[in-house]
Amino acid sequence: MTKPFKRILFTGAAGGLGRRLRPHLGQFADVVRLADLVPIADAQPHEEIVQCDLADRDAVMAMCEGVDAILHFGGVSTEVEFAPIMQANILGMANLYEAVHKRGIRRVIFASSNHTMGMYKTTDVVDAAMPPRADGYYGLSKVFGESLSRYYWDRFGIETVCIRIGYCFPEASNHRQLATWLSLDDMVELLRRSLLTPRVGHTITFGISDNDGKWWDDRHARFLAYRPKDSSRQFTDAVLASGVDKSDDMNDITLKFQGGVFLTHGPKYKP
């Protein structure tokens, strides 16, 4: 069977999502190049393995050789101090797009995050045309990634789908995760639509399943025709029975803002 791409690159392959997505990537390309800062074991016949620090410009250039499309999931994935975020998510993103441009790669799927909008309230409904309101350095680094990829589309015609992933873990176990959950199968489907839709330009889409009480309106990415098959509804009873975050105290910043516990990192919030 002919596959859509000859070779795709997946960065962040040793991470939580990378390990779960790995068995699903072979459908997209003859060769899947898996890259990470840390070693990756057990290459399958269709896989190539590259160890690469995104902050190393020459190594990133080499990592991108012979690649037709990139799924960029590598980097710091949570709120920490600025220095490592700057290296992996800001310098790393700049290195990646420089290589994408020089190597003539036409499309990137970027694992952005809901923390680009973490300072919107949980009573707000956010769409992709609304200004980003990051909740920390991590969210800001993803805003940088979205803007950088926009620049490469406007200036050089390189297409990017930025997926603002909600919470892509096996189970939702609190109210926030019920609103933001994304199943693995829906993630794979969103990647498929992002890779195969003929023209995507620069698109921001929200990576969530068909959950109740969603905070995000995906109207600007409707043309991707992503139809989630799963829903966090399957976890609702267990979350309610657990009694977790029962409070509806809107002075609690982790309930008031979409960023949730990420707001408890870094400098204290001042209204």
Q: State the residues that interact with ligand NAI by CB under 6 A.
A: 12, 14-18, 36-38, 53-55, 73-77, 87-88, 92, 111, 113, 165, 167-169
167 is catalytic: no
136 binds, among ligand 15L, ligand NAI, none (CB under 5 to 8 A by kind): none
- Nearest residue to ligand 15L by CB is 113
Q: Say which amino acid occupies 90.
A: I
Asked if 115 touches ligand 15L (CB under 6 A), the answer is yes
Q: Please select the residue that binds ligand 15L; options are 167, 206, 235, 257, rule is CB under 6 A.
A: 167
Is 237 strand, coil or helix? helix
Is 249 strand, coil or helix? coil
Q: What secondary structure does DSSP assign to 48-71, as a single string?
A: EEEE--TT-HHHHHHHTTT-SEEE
Is 96 strand, coil or helix? helix
Measured CA to CA, the distance from residue 253 to residue 135 in angstroms comes to: 11
CB of 65: closest distance to ligand 15L in angstroms? 28
186 binds, among ligand NAI, ligand 15L, none (CB under 5 to 8 A by kind): none
Q: Please select the residue that binds ligand 15L; options are 11, 89, 114, 194, rule is CB under 6 A.
A: 114
Nearer to ligand 15L, 142 or 193 (CB): 142
Within positions 54 to 83, which residues make up the interface with ligand 15L, using CB under 6 A? 77-78
Q: Read off the DSSP letter of residue 248.
A: -
- Quickly list H helices, 108-183: 137-156, 175-180
Asked if 149 touches ligand 15L (CB under 6 A), the answer is no
Helix (H) or strand (E) holding 82: helix 82-85
Measured CA to CA, the distance from residue 215 to residue 207 in angstroms comes to: 12
Measured CA to CA, the distance from residue 30 to residue 15 in angstroms comes to: 22
12 binds, among ligand 15L, ligand NAI, none (CB under 5 to 8 A by kind): ligand NAI
82 binds, among ligand 15L, ligand NAI, none (CB under 5 to 8 A by kind): none
Nearer to ligand 15L, 28 or 167 (CB): 167
Q: From the candidates 137, 138, 152, 167, give the one annotated as an active-site residue.
A: 138
Measured CA to CA, the distance from residue 177 to residue 180 in angstroms comes to: 5
Q: At what angle do helices 92-103 and 137-156 cross, to 10 degrees?
A: 20
Which of these, 249, 269, 175, lies nearest to 215 by C-alpha position? Answer: 175
CB of 41: closest distance to ligand NAI in angstroms? 13
- Nearest residue to ligand NAI by CB is 15
Q: Which residues bind ligand 15L (CB under 6 A)?
A: 77-78, 113-115, 167
Q: Which residues are catalytic?
A: 138
